C-alpha cells in the first residue's frame, strides 16, 4: 500500500471518507506513528527486517566511535581480524556497563567489550591498531510524506498500520474500537507467532558471563 492507499483505507475505517473530522495531515501523522509502533513490535518479535550494517575504521588510541544518524538499537558489533569480504575472520564485542569498565585490566589492545552511549560506542580496551568495525543495527524508519511513499514494513503488515492509526482515532473520539478489534487480534496473533517461530528456530544457547573475569 502507498500512503494514499493507507489514508483512504484509514478514512474508510473511521467512516470519514471526506476527512471532515480527521484531516489527511492528522491521519498522516498517526499513520507514521503506527509505522513506528509496528517497527518496535517486529523488532521485539526478533524480525531482522530493519537490520543494516555500517562500517567504521578503528583508529589507534581512539576509544569512542559515532553511531549512525538513523541508529535505533544495536544488534551486533564486531571487527575484522583477518582477511576481507565473506571469508574474513571477525571478533565479536560484548556489551558491558560503565561500572564493569573498572574490571578491565588492559588499558589498550584488541577491543573485547563496548559501552553503548547516547550517540557513540566506547571500545575497551582502547584499540592499538587500525581495523574495520562492523555496526549491525536497527534503523529508524523514515516517515511517509508523499502519496506514493510505501511504508518501510513487510507488505503483510501494511493494513495493520492503518488499523493501528484508526484505533488511536477511535480512542481520541471516545468511540469503541469494536469495529476493528477482530482485525487487531488477528495481527497481534501473527506477531506472537513470528516471535515463537524465531525462538524455536535453533537450539537453546548458553549465555556466558565470565568474560570479564578473564580480561
pLDDT at 201 over 50: no
pLDDT band at 203; cut points 50, 70, 90:
very low
pLDDT on residue 212: 56
Across the beta sheet with 71-82, what order do the strands follow? 51-57, 132-139, 71-82, 89-92
Summarize the confidence of residues 40-50 as an average pLDDT: 86
Q: How many angstroms separate the CA atoms of 97 and 115, rounded?
A: 6
pLDDT on residue 198: 61
Residue 202 has which C-alpha cell? 535453533
pLDDT on residue 192: 86
Placement of cell 531482522 in the chain: 48
Average pLDDT, the chain: 89
Q: Would you call 127 helix, strand, or coil by DSSP?
A: coil
pLDDT on residue 46: 75
Q: How many angstroms separate the CA atoms of 213 and 53, rounded?
A: 30
Q: How many angstroms separate the CA atoms of 177 and 106, rounded?
A: 58
Amino acid at each position: 500500500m502507498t500512503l494514499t492507499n493507507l489514508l483512504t483505507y484509514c478514512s474508510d475505517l473511521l467512516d470519514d471518507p471526506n476527512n471532515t473530522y480527521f484531516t489527511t495531515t492528522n491521519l498522516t501523522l498517526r499513520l507514521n506513528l503506527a509505522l513506528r509502533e509496528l517497527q518496535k513490535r517486529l523488532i521485539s518479535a526478533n524480525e531482522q527486517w530493519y537490520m543494516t550494517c555500517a562500517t567504521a575504521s578503528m583508529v589507534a588510541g581512539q576509544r569512542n566511535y559515532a553511531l549512525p544518524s538513523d541508529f535505533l538499537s544495536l544488534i551486533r558489533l564486531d571487527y575484522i581480524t583477518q582477511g576481507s569480504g565473506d571469508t574474513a575472520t571477525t571478533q565479536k564485542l560484548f556489551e558491558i556497563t560503565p561500572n564493569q569498565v573498572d574490571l578491565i585490566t588492559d588499558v589498550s589492545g584488541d577491543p573485547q567489550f563496548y559501552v553503548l552511549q547516547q550517540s557513540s560506542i566506547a571500545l575497551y580496551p582502547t584499540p592499538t591498531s587500525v581495523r574495520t568495525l562492523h555496526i549491525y543495527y536497527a534503523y529508524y524508519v523514515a516517515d511517509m510524506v508523499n502519496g506514493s511513499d510505501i511504508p518501510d514494513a513487510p507488505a503483510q503488515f501494511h493494513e495493520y498500520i492503518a488499523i493501528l492509526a484508526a484505533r488511536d482515532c477511535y480512542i481520541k473520539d471516545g468511540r469503541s474500537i469494536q469495529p476493528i478489534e477482530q482485525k487487531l487480534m488477528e495481527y497481534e496473533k501473527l506477531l506472537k507467532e513470528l516471535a515463537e517461530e524465531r525462538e524455536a528456530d535453533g537450539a537453546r544457547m548458553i549465555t556466558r558471563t565470565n568474560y570479564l573475569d578473564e580480561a
